[in-house]
A and B are shown apart, each in its own frame.
Chain A
Amino acid sequence: MSSDPGTEQKVVHVTGDGIEEFDSHLPNWWLVTFFGAIVFSIGYWFYFQVFQIGETNQAAWRREVAEIAERSGQNVPVTAQQLAELSKDPAVLAEGKQIFVSTCVACHALNGGGVVGPNLTDEYWIHGGGPEQIYATVKDGVPVKGMPAWGPQLGATRAQAVTAYVLTLRNTHAPGGKPPQGDKFAQAN
C-alpha cells in the first residue's frame, strides 16, 4: 500500500505550534459540487433574470397577495342583490348555518330568537334589516353594544354566507324570542 503514489503527502510547512500542514488537493467530489454550483448559477441567472421564464420572488408575492385579496373579497363591495341571491343558494345557506351555530348562537340563540343579542326573527332591527345593513353589522360589528366585528375573523366570503343565512331567519318569529328592539323594518322584497 505504501507504494501507492497518490497517498504520499509532503509536509509543506510546520506552523508555530508544530502542526504539520499537507499540500493536498481538495477532494474531487467536493470540486464537482463547487463547479456544479457555479454552472447551476449561470442557468439560474438566465432562467430568472435574463429571460424571466421563472417567477421571481417578488412576482410570486404579488400573485399570492392578489389571490388572497380575491379569495377574501376584502375590498369588493357587496350589493343587496348579491346577498339576496346568496340567500337562495342551498350550499351557501348550509355554510352560513354552520357559521351561525358556531359563532352567533351564544348571543342570538340557536333559532335566532336572541339571548343577550337582539331577536333576529322579528320585523324590528336596531341597525337596519336590509341585506347590506345586516352584512355591515356582521362585518364591522357594533363594538359599543357588544357585537364584535366578525369580518376580520370570518373573511368576506364566510361573513356573506352567514349574512345570507340571517336573511332567511327574518320574520320567522321564533318561539320564545326576545321582545322587539329597534325600528320596524319594511322589507323591500
Chain B
Amino acid sequence: MTTHLPVIPPKSSLRIDGTRNFVYPADVKGRFTIARNALFYALIGVYAALPWIQIRGNPAVYLDIAERKFFLFGATFNAQDIWMTVFLLTGAAFGLVFATALLGRAWCGWACPQTVFLEAVYRRIERFVEGPREKRMRRDEGPWTMNKLARKLVVHTLWIVVSLVLAHVFLSYFVSLRQLFDMMRHRPAEHPEAFLVVMALAGLFYFDFAWFREQFCVVMCPYGRLQSVLLDPDSLVVGYDAGRGEPRGKVKDPSRGACVDCNRCVVVCPTGIDIRNGLQMDCIACTQCIDACDEVMDKVEQPRGLIRYDSQNGLAGKPRRVVRSRVLVYTGLGALGLLVATLSLSRHERFESNVLRVQGAPYVLDGDDVRNAYRLHLINKDGRATTFHVMPEATPGVSFIVPLPDVKLESLASADVPLFATMPRSAFHPPRTLRIVVTSDLGDTRTMMAPFLGPEGGATPHATLGATP
C-alpha cells in the first residue's frame, strides 16, 4: 500500500547528500504550547529542587555510588538492595511501553529531558538574543558583522553558563549538595574526578543542546528507533487528516480541501519534517504543528483539528479503539514490575542481621562444657545512627557471654558482634537451637535462630571433632 498523498519532496533535518539541514523552528502559540511550557518549568523545578530537599537528615535523592549508599525519599539502601532496581526498572520500562502504545510519543514531546531543556531553556535563550526564525536564518546566511559576532558570543556564553549549572545540579544527585558546595570552594586539583565529570557533562550538554539537538532524537535515541514496533494503528499520534485536508490549495480555490498549504506546520517543526507526509520516525509528537494549524484554521474560519492528536485509524476515518491486546499485556507487565518493586520497598527493613559462625571449628570442648562462638553481623539500614542491643534469650543450662551487648552504628555502617554460648556436655542433645534477640533504639526487634553444635552422643568423650584445650 503506497502513499495516497501527492508527490511532494519529503522534508528532514538530514539532506540526501548527508549535510545537515539546520532547523529554525518558528515561534508558535496555542493551548498545547502553554500546557507544555507549564510542564517543562515544573519538571525543571523538580530537577533543581530535589537536591535541596532533606528528608530525615538526608537529601531526598542522593545516590552515593562511591560509598554505595543510596538515599531515596527517606529510605536508605546499600549495595545489597540493588536487586529491587530490577523490578523498579522493568516496571518503569513497561510503563513507558504501555504509555507509548496508548499515547504514542507523549514522553518525547512532553517530558524527555532533551525536549525539556532544549525548548524551555536553550531555544529560549537563542530566541531572546538572536530573534525570531526569519532574523536568525538571514543572519546565519549573511556575512560576519560585529552585530552577528556579539550576538553569537552572548548566546554561546549563556549556553555554556547554563550547561555548567545543569551539570553541577546533576552531580549533586551523586555527591550531595553539601559536598558539592564544599568542592566548589576548593581547587579542582583536590577533587579531579568530580571536576572532570562536571566539565565533561557541561561540554556534552553544550554540544547536545547548542548544536546536536534533534539529531539525537532522529538518529541516536533508541526509544525513538523502537517506535515502529511500539505503535500500532490505534496508538495516539500527532497526525494530519489527509481526507479533510487534501487536495491542498490556495484559500480562493473552491475545489481545495481544508489545507491552505500555508507551510506553517513545516516551519514550526523542531525536527524539520512535513507532518502532512504522514506518520514519520522523526516526529517527536511535540504538538507545535497542532497549535500552528489550529491558529490558521481559526483565521480561515474552519474547524480546528486538521492536524490533531488522533490514532492512525481515527485519522483514516476508521473506528478508534483504546483497549487492545497489546495495551493489556503491557499494563500487566508494567503493573507486575511496579507491584513487586512497591512490595519490596515497603518491606524494606531498617536493619540487617545475620548469625554467622566464627571461622574454624564448629564447636570447642572446654573441660566438661561445649562452647559455640558466633558472630552477629549487623547493618544499620536507616538514615539515622542508632544503637543495637544484643540479648540472647535465657535458656536453661546455657550460659552466654556477650562482650559487646550495645553497638552504636552510623547510617549504613556494619559491625560484627561476638557471642559465645556454653552448655555442659551432659545437657547437650542435638539438635539445639538458641534464640538471640536484637533490638534497636529505633524500636525494631528481631529474634534470630542460632543452631548450637556439639559432639554426638552427649557424654561420651571420644570421637569428637573438637579438642580439649
Interface positions of A (Cβ within 8 A of B): 1-2, 4, 6-10, 14, 18, 20, 22-31, 105-107, 109, 115-116, 126, 141-149, 181
Contact in complex: A24, B14 (CB < 8 Å)? yes
Q: Can you offer 20 A-B residue contacts whose CB atoms are under 8 A?
A: A2-B8, A6-B15, A6-B21, A9-B10, A9-B16, A10-B16, A24-B18, A25-B16, A25-B18, A27-B20, A27-B219, A30-B219, A105-B403, A106-B418, A107-B418, A107-B420, A116-B373, A143-B361, A144-B360, A146-B361
Question: CB-nearest residue of chain A relative to B9?
Answer: A8
Say which residue of A14, A25, A115, A149 sits within 8 Å of B360 (CB atoms): A149
Further pairs besides A1-B266, A105-B404: 12, Cβ < 8 Å: A9-B10, A10-B16, A18-B2, A25-B18, A26-B18, A115-B403, A116-B401, A143-B361, A144-B364, A145-B467, A148-B358, A148-B359
B466 at the interface (CB under 8 A from A): yes
Q: A7-B9, A28-B18 are in contact. Are A143 and B403 (CB under 8 A)?
A: no
Contact in complex: B403, A126 (CB < 8 Å)? no
Question: Which residues of A have CB within 8 Å of B1?
Answer: 18
Q: In the complex, what distance in Å separates the CA atom of A23 from the CA atom of B10?
A: 13
Chain A nearest CB, measured from B226 CB (Å): 17
Contact in complex: A27, B215 (CB < 8 Å)? yes
Contact in complex: A148, B360 (CB < 8 Å)? yes
B317 at the interface (CB under 8 A from A): no
Question: Which residues of B have CB within 8 Å of A25?
Answer: 16-18
Contact in complex: A126, B263 (CB < 8 Å)? no
Q: A7-B21, A116-B401, A146-B364 are in contact. Are A1 and B263 (CB under 8 A)?
A: yes
Chain A nearest CB, measured from B398 CB (Å): 15
Question: Which residues of A have CB within 8 Å of B212?
Answer: 29
Number of A-B contacts (CB under 8 A): 98
B365-389 interface bits toward A, Cβ cutoff 8 Å, 1 = contact, 0 = none: 0000001010000000000000000
Chain B nearest CB, measured from A158 CB (Å): 15
Q: In the complex, what distance in Å separates the CA atom of A178 from the CA atom of B162?
A: 70
Question: Which residues of A have CB within 8 Å of B16?
Answer: 6-10, 22-25
B19 at the interface (CB under 8 A from A): yes
Question: Which residues of A have CB within 8 Å of B364?
Answer: 144-146
Main secondary structure of the interface of B (DSSP, over half): loop
B12 at the interface (CB under 8 A from A): yes
Chain B nearest CB, measured from A112 CB (Å): 13
Question: Which residues of B have CB within 8 Å of A105?
Answer: 403-404
Question: Which residues of B have CB within 8 Å of A30?
Answer: 219
Question: CB-nearest residue of chain B relative to A153?
Answer: B359
Q: In the complex, what distance in Å separates the CA atom of A115 from the CA atom of B373?
A: 13
Question: CB-nearest residue of chain A relative to B404?
Answer: A106
Q: In the complex, what distance in Å separates the CA atom of A144 from the CA atom of B212?
A: 68
Q: In the complex, what distance in Å separates the CA atom of A39 from the CA atom of B14?
A: 25
Q: In the complex, what distance in Å separates the CA atom of A9 from the CA atom of B418?
A: 77
Q: In the complex, what distance in Å separates the CA atom of A81 from the CA atom of B18?
A: 76
Question: Which residues of A have CB within 8 Å of B403?
Answer: 105-107, 109, 115
B212-230 interface bits toward A, Cβ cutoff 8 Å, 1 = contact, 0 = none: 1001000100000000000
Main secondary structure of the interface of A (DSSP, over half): loop
Bin the interface of chain B by size: 35 or more
Chain B nearest CB, measured from A177 CB (Å): 15
Contact in complex: A115, B401 (CB < 8 Å)? yes
B11 at the interface (CB under 8 A from A): yes
Question: Which residues of B have CB within 8 Å of A107?
Answer: 403, 418, 420
Contact in complex: A29, B361 (CB < 8 Å)? no
B143 at the interface (CB under 8 A from A): no
Say which residue of B8, B360, B420 sits within 8 Å of A116 (CB atoms): B420
Question: CB-nearest residue of chain A relative to B272?
Answer: A7
Contact in complex: B18, A146 (CB < 8 Å)? no
B303 at the interface (CB under 8 A from A): no
Q: In the complex, what distance in Å separates the CA atom of A2 from the CA atom of B261?
A: 13
Question: CB-nearest residue of chain B relative to A108?
Answer: B403
Chain A nearest CB, measured from B388 CB (Å): 15
Chain B nearest CB, measured from A78 CB (Å): 22
Q: In the complex, what distance in Å separates the CA atom of A46 from the CA atom of B304?
A: 64
Question: CB-nearest residue of chain A relative to B466?
Answer: A144
Question: Which residues of A have CB within 8 Å of B17?
Answer: 6, 25
Question: Which residues of B have CB within 8 Å of A31?
Answer: 18
Chain B nearest CB, measured from A126 CB (Å): 7
B469 at the interface (CB under 8 A from A): yes
Chain B nearest CB, measured from A26 CB (Å): 6
Contact in complex: A143, B360 (CB < 8 Å)? yes
Contact in complex: B9, A28 (CB < 8 Å)? no
Question: CB-nearest residue of chain B relative to A9?
Answer: B16
Question: CB-nearest residue of chain A relative to B11?
Answer: A7
Q: In the complex, what distance in Å separates the CA atom of A2 from the CA atom of B10?
A: 9
Contact in complex: A1, B360 (CB < 8 Å)? no
Question: CB-nearest residue of chain A relative to B403?
Answer: A106
Question: Which residues of A have CB within 8 Å of B15?
Answer: 4, 6-7, 24
Question: Which residues of B have CB within 8 Å of A115?
Answer: 401, 403
Contact in complex: A143, B469 (CB < 8 Å)? no
Question: Which residues of A have CB within 8 Å of B20?
Answer: 27-29
Q: In the complex, what distance in Å separates the CA atom of A79 from the CA atom of B120?
A: 70
Contact in complex: B360, A147 (CB < 8 Å)? yes
Q: A24-B18, A25-B16 are in contact. Are A146 and B358 (CB under 8 A)?
A: yes
Chain A nearest CB, measured from B210 CB (Å): 14
Chain B nearest CB, measured from A76 CB (Å): 23
Q: In the complex, what distance in Å separates the CA atom of A115 from the CA atom of B8?
A: 92
Chain B nearest CB, measured from A5 CB (Å): 9
Chain B nearest CB, measured from A42 CB (Å): 24
Most buried by B among A8, A27, A107, A181: A27
Chain A nearest CB, measured from B393 CB (Å): 20
Question: Which residues of A have CB within 8 Å of B401?
Answer: 115-116
Q: In the complex, what distance in Å separates the CA atom of A31 from the CA atom of B9?
A: 25
Chain A nearest CB, measured from B109 CB (Å): 23
Chain A nearest CB, measured from B212 CB (Å): 8
B145-193 interface (Cβ within 8 A of A): none
